[in-house]
Amino acid sequence: MLKGLNFGDTMKPELGYVILAAGKGTRMHSDLPKVLQQVLGKSLLGYVFDALNHVSQSRMWTVVGFRACDVERTFPQRLEQFVRQEEQIGTGHALMCAWDRIMAAGVSHVCVLNGDTPHVPVEAISNLAEACAANHAAMGMLTLRLDNPFGYGRIIRSADGCVEGVVEEKDFNAADHGGEVHEVNSGVYVFDVGRCASLLELMDRNNAQREYYLTQMVSLCAAHKQSVVGLPFGSSDLLRGINSPGELVRFEESLRTKIVNDLLDAGVILRNRHSIVIGPDVTVGSGAEIVGPCEIYGQSRIERGAVIASHCWIKDSILGPCQVKSFSHIEGSHIRAGASVGPYARIRPGSDIGEGARVGNFVEVKKSVLHTGAKAGHLSYLGDSDIGPGVNIGAGTITCNYDGVRKHRTEILENAFIGSNTALVAPVTVGAGALVAAGSVVTKNVPDGALCVARSRQTNLDRKKQPPQS
């Protein structure tokens, strides 16, 4: 409990959320909007949205501006909550852009967060909102104590400890404040909507960057005898904003290390762990084994008993207790128990590799099902196909699924045998137990149990009786 602050039983504040995500992120030196920069395969803004998943979308607004369409397109299910800031002239102006929506929603308080800070301290935010309400404060903010406060707005407190101003890096001069100030603004605020409405209009651009600084609200509150709660959040690195490639990569590395260590503690074998990258939403069952270098992203689930060799890249896939050999690439697919994939296999989205099935080297599978025990050992392309149980696909088999306009499906029924170097021109079905001779170009359906030979017959002639070659 903080000295002087009341956390009493006042009515719970009705909280809305505004995420500031309109800035270009000049210090990132990239054409991508900063909030779309990725950390372990997930965008900065994605982290913020996921942490606030419990918040109703009717109480949440995201201010976008620089390449707004790109940001909006990345989150199509959230289109309703985007608010445009056409000209990016500061964080204060960004909040003003959302103000009408906030007022219309009728919330008592609004939490404002920077979209470049992936960690959202959900519990500390509700404490902050309650402290604001209980103390009748116009606004509150979470502060950090950093050894190196460079880049952050410095918190200025009065002799009796009240927050009375924030001075931004570009306006800060240590000499004016009796030395360096180590308490900084985390960029997490709560505003009392009623108390702040008129003060917002008093913000100006009289500062080094000629922008409307949201942080000016602190001195405006102080000047109008409104109190500000400054709630310390400790010296944690978690609430650091990401402004440059260095900060992005350092944050990514610390999160990666944490995820790997947590998995090791939970009983996952991670060999060569320093080169294993696992995204924040991936689940890995204890008893799974992964060898680095290896990357696993998205909504992947790796189950107990799965063994993944080095140099694999996996995204949005479910792996049962299977074997994935080196240099395999798996996306949006399911690899079931006892299946074996790779080395050098590419499993593209929509594929399902059944129990005990085998996909060998240089085999590409796209939107295809390989049922139990089906095998494609070498050098094949299986696209838009359904490969029945026990089918054997010979080396060099290609499903010709595209006619230049549309995609078509290939169906190979159980226990069929496809000889090497076969082209299956879709749409086509090979019946159960059928055998397609090597080198065939199959353009018509093959009945169950048939032998299909679809190639020109070989002729062997006596060389000595041939006319001499010119």
| Residue 347 contacts residue 353 (beta carbons within 8 Å) | yes
30 makes contact, choosing from Mg ion, ligand UD1, none, with CB < 5 to 8 Å by partner type, with: none
Strands 42-43 and 60-64: unpaired
Q: Which is nearer to ligand UD1, 22 or 426 (CB)?
A: 22
Angle of helix 216-223 relative to helix 193-200, nearest 10 degrees, comes to: 100
Q: Give me the least distance between CB of 80 and Mg ion, in Å please.
A: 26
Per rule CB under 6 A, is residue 153 in the interface with ligand UD1?
yes
3-state secondary structure 313-377: EEECCEECCCEECCCCEEECCEECCCCEECCCCEECCCCEECCCCEEEEEEEEECCEECCCCEEE
| Residue 215 contacts residue 156 (beta carbons within 8 Å) | no
CA dist., res. 318 & res. 295, Å (int): 14
Identified binder of Mg ion from the candidate list 62, 216, 243, 401, rule CB under 5 A: 243
Find the part of the chain contacting Mg ion (CB under 5 A) among 112-120, 355-363, 427-435, 447-455.
112-120
Per rule CB under 6 A, is residue 30 in the interface with ligand UD1?
no
Per rule CB under 6 A, is residue 226 in the interface with ligand UD1?
no
Per rule CB under 6 A, is residue 241 in the interface with ligand UD1?
yes
Q: Which is nearer to ligand UD1, 65 or 342 (CB)?
A: 65
Q: Give me the least distance between CB of 53 and ligand UD1, in Å please.
A: 19
Q: Which is nearer to Mg ion, 243 or 380 (CB)?
A: 243
CA dist., res. 400 & res. 407, Å (int): 9
62 makes contact, choosing from ligand UD1, Mg ion, none, with CB < 5 to 8 Å by partner type, with: none
Q: Give me the least distance between CB of 242 and Mg ion, in Å please.
A: 7
Tokens 């007022």 — which residue?
103
| Residue 410 contacts residue 426 (beta carbons within 8 Å) | yes
CB atoms within 10 A of CB 139: 27
Q: Which is nearer to ligand UD1, 232 or 377 (CB)?
A: 232
Of 54, 32, 182, whose CA–CA distance to 116 is shortest? 32
CA dist., res. 75 & res. 42, Å (int): 12
Per rule CB under 5 A, is residue 186 in the interface with Mg ion?
no
Per rule CB under 5 A, is residue 429 in the interface with Mg ion?
no
Q: Give me the least distance between CB of 52 and Mg ion, in Å please.
A: 18
Q: Give me the least distance between CB of 231 and ligand UD1, in Å please.
A: 15
Find the part of the chain contacting ligand UD1 (CB under 6 A) among 111-119, 279-287, 292-300, 377-385.
111-119
Per rule CB under 5 A, is residue 241 in the interface with Mg ion?
yes
Per rule CB under 6 A, is residue 94 in the interface with ligand UD1?
yes
**Phi, psi angle pair for 175, to nearest 5°:** -60, -30
118 makes contact, choosing from Mg ion, ligand UD1, none, with CB < 5 to 8 Å by partner type, with: none
Strand ranges for 139-227 from DSSP E? 139-145, 154-157, 163-167, 183-192
22 makes contact, choosing from Mg ion, ligand UD1, none, with CB < 5 to 8 Å by partner type, with: ligand UD1
Per rule CB under 5 A, is residue 115 in the interface with Mg ion?
no
Asked about 378 being catalytic, the answer comes back as: yes
311 makes contact, choosing from Mg ion, ligand UD1, none, with CB < 5 to 8 Å by partner type, with: none
Q: Give me the least distance between CB of 241 and Mg ion, in Å please.
A: 3
* Catalytic residue, candidates 119, 182, 378, 408: 378
Q: Give me the least distance between CB of 145 and ligand UD1, in Å please.
A: 13
Strand partners, 155: 166
Q: Would you give the binding string for Mg ion spanning residues 196-235, x where CB under 5 A is met? A: ----------------------------------------
Q: Which long-range contacts link 126-132 to residues 24+ away (Cβ below 8 Å)? A: 126/15, 127/7, 127/231, 128/188, 128/190, 128/229, 128/231, 129/13, 129/15, 129/190, 130/7, 130/10, 130/12, 130/13, 131/2, 131/5, 131/6, 131/7, 131/229, 131/231, 132/13, 132/190, 132/192, 132/229
| Residue 64 contacts residue 80 (beta carbons within 8 Å) | no
Residues making contact with Mg ion (CB under 5 A): 116, 241, 243
Catalytic residue ranges: 378
